Structure 1
Amino acid sequence: MKKSISLMLRLSATGLLAGALAACSMGGLFGGGNAAQNQQLQNATATPAAVAQAQTNALPAIATQCPPIRVRPGTEAMFYYGNGRTGDPKALQYQGVIDETSRNCVVSNGLITVNMGVVGRVLLGPAGTQSTVNAPVRFAVERDGQAVFSEKYSIPVALAQPARSAEFVKVLENVAIPYLGGEDITIWVGFDTK
Structure 2
Amino acid sequence: MHHAPIATLARRSLVFAGTGLLTALLAGCSMGGMFGGGAPAADANLANTSPNPAAMAQAQTNALPAIATECPPIRVRPGSEAMFYYGNGRTGDPRALQYQGVIDKSTRNCIVSNGLITVQMGVEGRVLLGPTGSQSSVTVPVRFAVERDGQAIFSEKYSIPVAISPPAQSAGFVKVVQNVAIPYLGGEDIKIWVGFDTGR
TM-score (norm 1): 0.68
Q: Distance in 2 between matches of 1:181 and 1:101?
A: 25
2:100 to 88, 95, 103: 95
2:158 to 153, 157, 168: 153
Q: Distance in 2 between matches of 1:111 and 1:123?
A: 39
Q: Does 1:109 align with 2:114?
A: yes
Aligned residue pairs total 134
Rg: which structure is higher? 1
Q: Distance in 2 between matches of 1:63 and 1:144?
A: 19
Q: Does 1:124 align with 2:123?
A: no
Name 1:186's counterpart in structure 2: 191
Deviation string 1:23-62 (CA, Å, 9 cap, x unpaired) is: xxxxxxxxxxxxxxxxxxxxxxxxxxxxxxxxxxxxxx82
Unaligned runs of 5+ in 1: 1-60
After TM superposition, list the pairs within 5 Å mapping 1:9-88 onto structure 2: 62-88=67-93
Deviation string 1:86-141 (CA, Å, 9 cap, x unpaired) is: 11111000000000000000000111000000000000001001100001000000
Q: Distance in 1 between matches of 2:117 and 2:139?
A: 31
RMSD (Å) for aligned C-alpha atoms: 0.9
Q: Which amino acid aligns with 2:133?
A: G
Q: Does 1:135 align with 2:140?
A: yes
In the alignment, is the contact (CA less than 8 A) between 2:105 and 2:124 conserved in 1? yes
1:163 to 140, 159, 168: 168
Q: Distance in 2 between matches of 1:82 and 1:64?
A: 48
Identity fraction in percent = 82
Q: How far did residue 65 of structure 1 move?
A: 2.4
Q: Distance in 2 between matches of 1:146 and 1:90?
A: 40
Unaligned runs of 5+ in 2: 1-65
Q: How far did residue 160 of structure 1 move?
A: 0.5
Q: Distance in 1 between matches of 2:103 and 2:97?
A: 18
Taking CA–CA contacts closer than 8 Å with sequence separation of 6 or more, which of the two structures ends up with the larger relative contact order? 2
In the alignment, is the contact (CA less than 8 A) between 2:70 and 2:112 conserved in 1? no
Q: Distance in 1 between matches of 2:186 and 2:79?
A: 30
Question: What SS does structure 1 have at the residue aligned with 2:180?
Answer: strand
Moved over 3 A (4+): none
Q: Which amino acid aligns with 2:128?
A: L
Q: How far did residue 180 of structure 1 move?
A: 1.3
